[in-house]
Amino acid sequence: MPTVIHLRAETKPFERRSPMSPETAKALIQAGYLVRVERSRERIYNDDEFEAVGAEMVSAGSWLNAPREDIILGLKELPEDDIPLPHTYIHFQHIFKKQHGWARSLSRFARGGGTLYDLEFLTDEAGRRVAAFGYWAGYAGAALALLSWAHQVLHPGVTQGPVSLFESVPALVQHVKSAIEPAIRTNSGQTPRSVVVGALGRCGKGAVDFFLAAGFSQDTILQMDMAETARGGPFPEIAASDIFINCVYLGPTPTPPFVTLESLSAPERRLRVICDVSCDPNSENNPVPVYSGWSSFDKPTIPPSKDLDGPELRVIAIDHLPTLIPRESSDEYSSLLLPSLLTLERRENEGVWKRAEQTYKDRVAELPQSDHDKP
């Protein structure tokens, strides 16, 4: 019997990306896999694109009753409930770093006898992730940060509304250019100064590339990485900029804060927008501990956790930024993930899957006994 990969429809609001493209579905089918794809109106790829390459189309939500041996592939976390999960699952669940609610979420897999291969923890022999959305997360984060800055300048004190949908990168770039031109004129012709922390990583490069694509010069972008942050924060350069983009991946060890509420209370603060691309507000290791909770594409900014004197400050904390440009980000991600998916039938012996399964088992072993025993 062929190995079955069941691509489920996403349920997270505004999520349009896919970890499998029609092109990678075609490659899997040609390699002997049976690919089932749930119909979805939200996914950036049309159903007929998958059907044209030979995928079996099934109804949305049918993964719940799929044969237990099927592999359920998705992108974002499953809806929260207490139903045990018996399948093999591949998606981002955001629990392996012990985020808020991790034990309850993880116990569903343990109680159901299932296995979670978290996409964030699919790594090669050197510990590098085999696929990531980092570049496009930084790219989209910089775009939203500029839109937020322009909105504040043009409409002070007015909460920003929902973000528009974009079908391509050129459409996003043109939209942002159109938004910031009148804001710069209103701002006495001054262009915003930006600081990108983690600028040498894929996420940071994406942020810098968007600023450049939008017409900004290098001298308006302060790029900080390990050498510039080695002295430890908070960094006064951030408060002195208009826009701050945090692109540093949150690891298991604490990172000294890049900013604090105290550092942003200085009377000379210029900062108006924080875009925390890493977006881990529920972690005690969060290096941007000035906000709590998340924003969304419907409500793209939130205030800091304390009122501050000086310019209005808004925080962008959206945990699926690349869906702003879903086709380009999905095309790249699915192509990076494909080599690993092609080895799924050998996952009991294949390194990337063995490592991911061991990570899952290690986290399950750390569950409180009460979570193991829940019915």
Annotated binding residues, as ranges? 128, 201-202, 225, 229, 249, 277, 318-321
Which of 6, 12, 87, 94 is an active site residue?
Answer: 94
Element at 27 (helix H, strand E): helix 22-30
Q: What is the dihedral of CA 285, 289, 294, 295, to 10 degrees?
A: -140
* Residue 151 annotated among the catalytic residues of the structure: no
- Of the chain, the end-to-end C-alpha distance in Å amounts to 33
Annotated binding site for NAD(+): 128, 201-202, 225, 229, 249, 277, 318-321
Closest CA to 258 of 271, 244, 270, 269: 244
* Residue 76 annotated among the catalytic residues of the structure: yes
Cis peptide before 234 (omega within 30 of 0): yes
Cα 112 to Cα 9, 154, 244, 366, distances in angstroms: 21, 53, 43, 17
22 contacts 53 by C-beta, under 8 angstroms: yes
Strand arrangement, sheet containing 115-118: 56-58, 34-38, 4-7, 71-73, 88-91, 115-118
Closest CA to 98 of 320, 284, 369, 298: 284
18 contacts 7 by C-beta, under 8 angstroms: yes
The rounded distance, in Å, linking the Cα atoms of 224 and 119 is: 28
Q: What is the DSSP annotation of 338-357?
A: HHHHTTGGGTTT-HHHHHHH
The rounded distance, in Å, linking the Cα atoms of 85 and 338 is: 25
**Contacts for 91 with CB less than 8 Å, ≥ 6 apart:** 19, 72, 73, 74, 75, 76, 77, 78, 116, 118, 119
Which of 76, 87, 151, 205 is an active site residue?
Answer: 76
Residues serving a catalytic function are 76, 94
